[in-house]
Chains A and B, each alone.
Chain A
Amino acid sequence: MLSEEKLIMTSSPHIKTEDDTRSIMLDVIIALTFPLIMAICFFGWRSLTLTLTAVASCIAFEWLYRYFMKKPSSIGDLSAVVTGMLIAFNLPVTTPMWIPVVGSFFAIVIVKQLYGGLGKNFMNPALGARAFLLSWPALISLWVKAKPLADSSFPLLKSISREALSPDVIAAATPLAKMKQGFLPSTPMPSVDGDIVSTLRDMAVGNIAGCIGEVSAIVLIAAGIYLIVRKVITPHIPLAYISTVAVLTYLFPRGGNDPLQWMLFSLTSGGLMLGAVFMATDYVTSPVSKTGRIIYGIGCGLLTVLIRYFGAYPEGVSFAILIMNVCVWAIEKISRPGRFGVKRFKKAGDTK
């Protein structure tokens, strides 16, 4: 039985890890279901229909583009699903259903595929879409107070207009918008109609007004830990990003607030956790080396605080990450791992 007719010749190595692009994306999708479940709890089933719409459109656009360009289909790598989920997570629950469809088109066709598809784009597709969707500011800024699942009554598909909502559901401002004016979200503003007071606990759990996927800081941290444990991401970017924001907001609190309070509210508000865990860690648009990732994370943190403090919008996360996306090539040049064997070695006797 020692036949050798069909021996194949290949170059080493002859074994490979089981993890491939698809299994990694699957892990990201699993991690993204953590905040999705919270979104459904706080904003009702419409969060799910928004997410499914975005995911379905991303898959469809990806498939159609590759089909018409006569390229092999790439929906199997599941990266379009991740993009779809992230697009939806950056929208409030009141967003009309056509918005995620337009966003998906922009993300998949313009930001990703025109540059050659997965791995070639220089901007994060979901963030690119979010920036693009700001062309319709009114449609994506009708904030509602988070409510428990039981009494959520948003239509699954139909549009929601401000008039159709009972006034006690509408939130005048997200915690972040209050912070923009120098107030802690826990400070009542009786002069404002529909003001909501959010305690630190509300902020951590996610019982606040905001985009569907960004509200629950604790669950997002848990998702991040899952990704780190599964070795999908390294902790460098999220840690550098969040620590930078923490240090800066502690050192420079606004409105004369207590530094610690201000820092904690800054960390739990807006898209910071979602951005640090899922957006800034996007492989394609972030550096590949550890040093590079730390520089990139610090840059994201710095820009986020700068935009939050001095920019036109209350939120700085998306633009901070997008700007850093553009700088990645430069960061890569200065963050190469040191060459092996150029360090001088210690002489004999100290080889403990």
Chain B
Amino acid sequence: MPLSFRGGVHPDDKKADTRKKAIEVLPAPGQVVLPVSMHIGAPAAPVVSVGEHVKMGQVVAETAGAVSARVHATVSGTVTAIEPRPHPNGTNVMSIVIENDYNDELFEGIKPVDRFHSIDAQELADIAEAAGIVGLGGAMFPTHVKISSSVGKVDTLIINGAECEPYITSDNRQMLECGEEIINGVTLLMKALKLDTAYIAIESNKRSAIEKIRRLIAKKDGLKLKVLRTKYPQGAEKQLIKSVCGREVPPGGLPSAVGVLNINVGTVIALSRAVETGMPLLTKVVTVSGSAVANPKNLLARIGTPLRELFSAAGGFKDNPYKVLMGGPMMGISQYSLDVPVIKGTNAILAFCEKEDAYSEQQVCIRCGKCVGACPMNLMPVYLHMYGNRGMLDECEKLNVTDCIECGCCSYICPGRLHLVQSFKNTKQRLAALKKKKGAR
């Protein structure tokens, strides 16, 4: 019986379009746009100026604060602008724009780490920081912070290859094509953090990736494969940890609170590369798919490449797109412009030509309780929505609205077509604002 957690939903996985498409290298674009915020935490501070020539792999924005991450030039060329540009999160964010000179001139500072086999945790964290690595599954939490805060607290390492969002196959392809690097990276992490066990967790619908990893870990001590039930949101951090080792991360807590370090497969690959070659994080594997895309595929794109280029490389649109998403259909963010760049957390871009989601003018809750059964955080969305609508924020707080991970299961399953998640995001913002006000007094 594959491992699982309580709640969740079973959307059609729609991965068939790209599952077998090997990762293709997308040629670097004429111009890259690098937002200084491609991570959780303080925006990085630009360290180059307009007109300056930069080399590929050179730092263009430096870590600013304890939780922050570096940004590197992903092409060589000239900085043409440092100004706010559209960001996938829907706002305008300060970005460094580099005109590509197509020389891919490598920055001199990039070289492999010498003492490869005896790296300790602090060194590994430093390498991650230098390479600008963040959680590539989408969370974009700086990896060096994750590693250094895990020292001494963690007994279990979980590598997240669940990839539960429909359409997306980028992690699946990376497991198939870069399996060795994953094993390398896991071994590095285990040594650095002095761990005996690491689990590689994969959803049961990725059979070839499971086989591949099974073969690779056959001779390795302490490396274990965990096959998870195919169910959304199996890849969400708290649900994954619950499925793999039965531990529940406490409200507001980090995985380290239950002794777990959880890292996405793509992040492990980036880490392994940073150690082996010294290469910072410059590229990202992105699934390009959706009903409007002519030839769905997986692309290895330079970070900073405008979405437009990726869609072109995937044969353009069959039809005028109606909606474009960055990320999967359950948690992805809709985009109004194709000029926004691929960022570190981008694992898919999707375009749809017609309404894929059922929308209803009349939203009536019939109290079916399906949202309660589907909520992986054990919340009662039906009541959160009712109290939220009436502005009863205290009640929402009592019902733990702050635990909501915005996974979208409740909205997905609701037969009354209520906009539940949207309402909870709003409630959380109002609660946070209220807290701030109280704190100020």
**Which residues of A line the B interface, CB within 8 A?**
1-4, 6-21, 23-24, 72, 74, 77, 79, 117-119, 234, 283-284, 286-290, 293, 332, 336-343, 345-348, 351
Q: Could you tell me the distance in whole angstroms from the C-beta of A261 to the nearest C-beta in chain B?
A: 37
Tell me the complex Cα distance, A338–B365, Å.
Answer: 23
A residues in contact with B412, CB < 8 Å = 13, 15-17
Q: Does B382 contact A (CB under 8 A)?
A: yes
Known: A15-B11, A288-B367. Is A21-B166 also a contact (CB below 8 A)? no
Instruction: Tell me the count of chain B residues lying within 8 A, CB to CB, of chain A.
Output: 80
Known: A9-B334, A119-B416, A337-B380. Is A289-B329 also a contact (CB below 8 A)? no
Tell me the complex Cα distance, A15–B407, Å.
Answer: 12
Q: Could you tell me the distance in whole angstroms from the C-beta of B183 to the nearest C-beta in chain A?
A: 21
- Identify the closest chain A residue to B375 (Cβ): A337
| Chain B 345-369 near chain A by CB (<8 Å), digits 1 or 0 | 0000000100011101110111111
Closest 8 CB pairs of A and B: A288-B369, A13-B408, A345-B247, A348-B155, A337-B378, A351-B245, A341-B250, A11-B422
B residues in contact with A72, CB < 8 Å = 361-362
Q: Could you tell me the distance in whole angstroms from the C-beta of B314 to the nearest C-beta in chain A?
A: 11
B residues in contact with A118, CB < 8 Å = 364, 366
Main secondary structure of the interface of A (DSSP, over half): loop
A residues in contact with B332, CB < 8 Å = 12, 14
A–B Cβ pairs within 8 angstroms, 9 of them = A15-B329, A20-B415, A21-B415, A118-B366, A119-B364, A286-B367, A340-B238, A340-B251, A351-B156
Q: Is the CB of A283 within 8 A of B369?
A: yes
Give 4 A-B pairs besides A4-B336, A337-B372, A341-B248 with Cβ atoms closer than 8 angstroms.
A13-B408, A234-B369, A345-B247, A351-B156
Tell me the complex Cα distance, A287–B325, Å.
Answer: 36
Q: Is the CB of A23 within 8 A of B321?
A: no
Q: Could you tell me the distance in whole angstroms from the C-beta of A230 to the nearest C-beta in chain B?
A: 12
Q: Which of A7, A20, A346 has the most CB of B within 10 A?
A: A7
Q: Does B338 contact A (CB under 8 A)?
A: yes
B residues in contact with A6, CB < 8 Å = 320, 322
Q: Is the CB of A340 within 8 A of B403?
A: yes
B residues in contact with A23, CB < 8 Å = 415
Q: Could you tell me the distance in whole angstroms from the C-beta of A342 to the nearest C-beta in chain B?
A: 7
Tell me the complex Cα distance, A209–B34, Å.
Answer: 78
Known: A2-B338, A12-B331. Is A341-B253 also a contact (CB below 8 A)? yes
- Identify the closest chain B residue to A345 (Cβ): B247
Q: Is the CB of B325 within 8 A of A24?
A: no
Q: Could you tell me the distance in whole angstroms from the C-beta of A129 to the nearest C-beta in chain B?
A: 19
Q: Is the CB of B324 within 8 A of A288?
A: no
Q: Could you tell me the distance in whole angstroms from the C-beta of B132 to the nearest C-beta in chain A?
A: 27
A residues in contact with B245, CB < 8 Å = 351
Selected from B238, B248, B312, B373, the residue in CB contact (under 8 A) with A342 is: B248
Q: Is the CB of B338 within 8 A of A1?
A: no
| Chain B 296-334 near chain A by CB (<8 Å), digits 1 or 0 | 000000000000100110001100111111000111111
- Identify the closest chain A residue to B311 (Cβ): A2
Selected from A2, A24, A287, A345, the residue in CB contact (under 8 A) with B316 is: A2
Q: Could you tell me the distance in whole angstroms from the C-beta of A329 to the nearest C-beta in chain B?
A: 11
Q: Does B421 contact A (CB under 8 A)?
A: yes
Q: Is the CB of A7 within 8 A of B335?
A: yes
Tell me the complex Cα distance, A293–B369, Å.
Answer: 10
Q: Is the CB of A283 within 8 A of B425?
A: no
Tell me the complex Cα distance, A2–B400, Å.
Answer: 43
| Chain B 416-441 near chain A by CB (<8 Å), digits 1 or 0 | 11010110010000000000000000
Known: A1-B316, A339-B378. Is A12-B330 also a contact (CB below 8 A)? yes
Q: Is the CB of B416 within 8 A of A341?
A: no
A residues in contact with B317, CB < 8 Å = 1-2
A residues in contact with B90, CB < 8 Å = 9
Q: Does B92 contact A (CB under 8 A)?
A: no
Tell me the complex Cα distance, A283–B372, Å.
Answer: 13
Known: A3-B320, A119-B367. Is A20-B380 also a contact (CB below 8 A)? no
Q: Does B337 contact A (CB under 8 A)?
A: yes
- Identify the closest chain B residue to A18 (Cβ): B358
Known: A2-B308, A16-B412, A345-B246. Is A284-B357 also a contact (CB below 8 A)? no
Q: Is the CB of B246 within 8 A of A346?
A: yes
A residues in contact with B253, CB < 8 Å = 341
Selected from B356, B403, B413, B421, the residue in CB contact (under 8 A) with A12 is: B421
- Identify the closest chain A residue to B419 (Cβ): A11
Q: Does B139 contact A (CB under 8 A)?
A: no
Selected from B323, B337, B364, the residue in CB contact (under 8 A) with A21 is: B364
Q: Is the CB of B334 within 8 A of A8?
A: yes
- Identify the closest chain A residue to B423 (Cβ): A11
Q: Is the CB of A4 within 8 A of B324?
A: yes
B residues in contact with A15, CB < 8 Å = 11, 166, 329-330, 356-357, 412
Tell me the complex Cα distance, A9–B9, Å.
Answer: 24
Tell me the complex Cα distance, A234–B400, Å.
Answer: 25
Tell me the complex Cα distance, A341–B404, Å.
Answer: 12
- Identify the closest chain B residue to A350 (Cβ): B246
Q: Is the CB of B250 within 8 A of A342?
A: yes
